[in-house]
Amino acid sequence: MKTCVGIPLFGTEVSPRFCFADTILIVEVERNREERRFITSLGDPWLPKRVADLATLGVRTLLCGAFNRAYLPTANRLGIQVITGVSGEAETVLARFLCGEIIPGSSKMRRCRRLVSPAR
């Protein structure tokens, strides 16, 4: 099944906060393998618009440092799973996600108090 992963960027690293990122790496993934990627501007800084734009881009999983909790229900309604507490080089984070090392709802993530929205 094909899915789309978004990683908001701060240079070459995962942005510490989704709301501060100017650009996002979008990666289309099928069977845990990268199929296609591109970087695009997040444009409008207004969070409801940004979240809606993610859905328009086809993002189903967002890996980021932090995400405003007030907009998690909106993201979830749009079919976007948000995984926070992620940091480091975007390429390393993507590789870890594709290898299954970043797993939504894992006990390791809960112990670290990372925010994980419900899966859709």
The CATH number of the domain holding residue 92 is 3.30.420.130
The pLDDT confidence band at residue 112, using thresholds 50, 70 and 90, is very low
Give the integer Cα–Cα distance in Å for 60 and 78. 9
Helix H or strand E segment including 14: strand 13-14
Give the integer Cα–Cα distance in Å for 77 and 13. 27
Residue range 27-84, pLDDT digits in tens: 999 998 999 999 999 988 899 999 999 999 999 999 999 999 999 999 999 999 999 9
- Asked if residue 80 lies in contact with residue 54, where contact means CB atoms within 8 angstroms, the answer is yes
What is the per-residue pLDDT for 106?
A: 43
- Tell me the DSSP string of 47-109: HHHHHHHHHHHT--EEE-S---GGGHHHHHHTT-EEE-S--SBHHHHHHHHHTT-S-TT-HHH
Q: Is residue 116 part of a domain?
A: no
Q: Which domain holds residue 17?
A: 2-111
Q: Is residue 93 part of a domain?
A: yes
Q: Which residue is associated with the tokens 């695009």?
A: 40
> How many domains, in total, are found in the chain?
1
What is the per-residue pLDDT for 43?
A: 87
